[in-house]
A and B are shown apart, each in its own frame.
Chain A
Amino acid sequence: MITSALRIFDLSLGQMLWSRRSVFLALLAGGPVGLALGIRVILLLTPAQLPMVNGARMSGTAIFGLIIWLLYLRFIIPVLGAFYGTSLIADEVEDKTITYLFTRPIPRGAVLVGKYLAYLLCTILLVLPSAVIVYFIVTPLGGGSIGEQFPSLLSDLGMLAVGLAAYGALFALVGATFKRPLVVGLVFTFGWEPGVLIFPGYLKHATIAFYLQALVPHAMPNEESVVGGILQLFNEIPPLETSLASLAGITLVALWLASRATQTREFVLDQ
């Protein structure tokens, strides 16, 4: 199974990296870089100081934290997971190339796992460097020190990788189970997760964002909306160990279920 998965990984990585979809991935990963550059240029051109927030002046580190929270954690990571995770098998089915993989002496589950690994490496290779570039652009703003904050950057990178793994596995399961997986993925990302996070109680445990938040070394930003206010009010951060164990559990279980679903499901190609 592992050898077969690695061979599929080998075959899929090049396909994923050099596909037109990578343009989209690059745009997403490049968005925060563009934003960081924009902020830097504006602050260079205008002598205006960074604003005061809660009595303290906004710093480069705080801006980096904001970008991690609002762009990476709440948007880029789940969206990349939804897009690529649901496409692992769906792409091959849509392109009608799945036949070549499913008529080879490898378990079907290995096809999914191999493609998942390719997704993970491909997204990590693009998202993590993007976060590092943003860090180097914005951290020095307001007198921040790149060296001092470096350990926090490593935590951020770890969190992003874990997030990509967990969302990717969950959406791989969605892709292997549902007929319109991307719609389900978008409902989960933009409907379910922000929806249940505002409720107190156990419902939020049924999200990935809840556990992922515990891995972010920056404080959750204050948001102006009602939902943002409630989020702050019921903000509950689980212990780090619980979060890591839960995310690992979600990843492994979702991947195993996805692999089983691929094994038993029939894929009827459009004529």
Chain B
Amino acid sequence: MPIHDQGYRHYGGQRSAPGRRWAVIARAGVRTMFSKRAFIGLLLLSWLPFFVRAVQIYISTSVPQAAALVQVTPATFKDFLEQQSIWVFFITVYVGAGLIANDRRANALQIYLSKPLTRVEYMFGKLAILMGFLLLVTGVPGLMLLVLQILFTGELTFFRENLHLLPAITLFSVIQALTFSSTMLALSSLSKSSRYVAILYAAVIFMSQAIYGVLRQVTGDTNVAWVSLPANMTQVGSAIFRVPLQYKTPWPVSLTVLAGLILASAVVLERRVRGVEIVT
């Protein structure tokens, strides 16, 4: 008579290839956020400007008398992405503040990193959650507006004349999402309290803007815009969309500041995301 083993049975299914395990973290995070009604409400609200812009595009193409008032230009798309920045802020705070802080609070980092999951995969998974949501309120509606423009006019003239718009929307959205996500993730790794992280993030964004406001008035020009994170983003956006720059700060300087911020965030994450805390 065969005797069946009643003990622990090891997993016999397929294993995902190394390097793709970040997707598990990302999927779990996305699912968690979609299970929150308040978040879905926030996401829906963040799409309201898209509908306003869609109406603008419709009117500009269908009502010739109003076309001059609501004219659609490459700046329309840049303005739309910039106006989404308040939603980007709220979504970054809502989704991002607890991404690593909550894991640190629950001592879950040790558990995650004791699995066949590298630190890079863990960080990439977390980054993917936030970037995914940010692109959902910037790049995705931005590109959809471009598609709507083509659909409403029924011709490709505007698209052909502004071929740079497609890569511009994509690139600017990615830069926005990457900068804000990596900054938030780095801050989230610094504390165990998501509330503390949220306020730190607000401080980084708004204090830099307030300091710029003071310096601009004191110096009398906009050369010092590089101290403000939102101003740097605007400057890079203007360069990408080929519209006149808003500040005197050269756009490569703004781009360097943003790149520096991403790099600094990466360094912070590298030091803080560890299974075991290193006390020095």
Q: Do chains A and B touch in the complex (CB under 8 A)?
A: yes
**In-complex Cβ contact of B214 among A21, A35, A51 (8 A):** A35
A82 contacts B214, C-beta separation under 8 Å: no
The interface stretch among A178-186, A208-216, A248-256 is A178-186
B199 CB within 8 Å of chain A: yes
B134 in the interface (beta carbon within 8 A): no
Known: A51-B220, A58-B218, A75-B210. A190 touches B89 (CB 8 A): yes
Q: Tell whether, in the assembled complex, residue A39 and residue B216 are in contact, meaning their CB atoms are under 8 Å apart.
A: no
| Main SS at interface, chain B | helix
- Distance between Cα atoms of A141 and B109 in the complex (Å): 52
Q: Which of A50, A190, A221 contacts B202 (CB 8 A)?
A: A190
Is A31 a contact partner of B211 (Cβ separation < 8 A)? yes
Q: Judge whether B217 and A79 touch: CB under 8 Å.
A: no
CB distance from B249 to the nearest CB of A (A): 13
B64-100 contacts to A, CB under 8 A, are: 86, 89-90, 93-94
Q: Which residues of B contact A180 (CB under 8 A)?
A: 38, 94
**Highest count of chain A CB atoms <10 Å: which of B86, B89, B207, B217:** B217
Shortest distance between the CB of B140 and any CB in chain A (Å): 22
Whether B196 is near chain A, meaning CB under 8 Å from some CB there, is yes
Q: From B206, which residue of chain A is reached at the shortest CB distance?
A: A75
Decide: B199 and A82 in contact? CB cutoff 8 A: yes
Contacts A70-B213, A75-B210, A182-B195 given; does A39 touch B218 at CB 8 Å:
yes
The reply on B144 being an interface residue by CB < 8 A is: no
A222 to B217, CA, bound (A): 8
Q: From A184, which residue of chain B is reached at the shortest CB distance?
A: B38
Contacts of A224 in B (CB 8 A): 216, 222
Question: Among the listed stretches A83-91, A112-120, A125-133, A230-238, which one makes contact with chain B, having 4 or more residues with CB under 8 Å of it?
Answer: A83-91
A87, B196: Cα distance in complex, Å: 10
- State which residues 46-66 of B face A: CB under 8 Å: none
Q: Is the CB of A86 within 8 A of B195?
A: yes
Using Cβ atoms and an 8 Å threshold, which residues of chain A touch B94? 180, 183
A74, B218: Cα distance in complex, Å: 18
Given contacts A51-B220, A63-B218, A224-B216, contact A74 B210 (CB under 8 A): yes
When each residue 211-238 of chain B gets 1 if its CB lies under 8 Å from chain A and 0 otherwise, what string results? 1011111111110000000000000000
- Nearest CB on A from B117, distance (A): 25
Of B196, B199, B215, the most chain A CB neighbours within 10 A belong to B199
Q: Say if the beta carbon of B151 comes within 8 Å of chain A.
A: no
* Structural contact, B210 and A70, CB atoms closer than 8 A: yes
Cβ contact within 8 Å between A191 and B214: no
With both beta carbons as reference points, the residue of chain A lying nearest to B221 in the complex is identified as A51
Q: Are A66 and B196 neighbours in the complex by a CB distance under 8 Å?
A: no
The answer to whether the Cβ of A247 comes within 8 Å of any Cβ in the partner chain is no
Closest-CB distance, A184 to chain B (whole angstroms)? 10
A223 to B199, CA, bound (A): 25
**A176 interface residue per 8 A CB criterion:** no
Whether A191 touches B217, Cβ cut-off 8 Å, given contacts A31-B211, A94-B193, A182-B199, is no
A191 to B82, CA, bound (A): 15
Chain B 168-200 near chain A by CB (<8 Å), digits 1 or 0 = 000000000000000000000000010110111
How far apart sit A270 and B174, CA to CA, in the bound complex (Å)? 37
User: Separation in Å of the A36 CB from the closest CB of chain B?
Assistant: 9
Measured in the bound complex, the distance between the Cα atoms of B195 and A183 in whole Å is 9
Is the beta-carbon distance between B214 and A70 smaller than 8 angstroms?
Answer: yes
- Contact indicator per residue, chain A 214-230, by CB within 8 Å of chain B (1) or not (0): 00000001111000000
CB distance from A53 to the nearest CB of B (A): 7
CB pair B90 A187 closer than 8 Å:
yes
Interface membership of chain A positions 48-78, coded 1 if the CB is closer than 8 angstroms to chain B and 0 otherwise: 0011110000100001001100110011000
Other than the given A21-B196, A39-B218, A221-B217, 7 more pairs (CB < 8 A) read: A31-B211, A51-B221, A58-B220, A83-B199, A182-B198, A190-B206, A224-B216
Chain A residues at the B interface, C-beta cutoff of 8 Å: 21, 24, 27-28, 31, 35, 39, 50-53, 58, 63, 66-67, 70-71, 74-75, 79, 82-83, 86-87, 90, 94, 180, 182-183, 186-187, 189-191, 221-224
3 closest pairs, A vs B, by CB? Answer: A51-B220, A70-B213, A83-B199
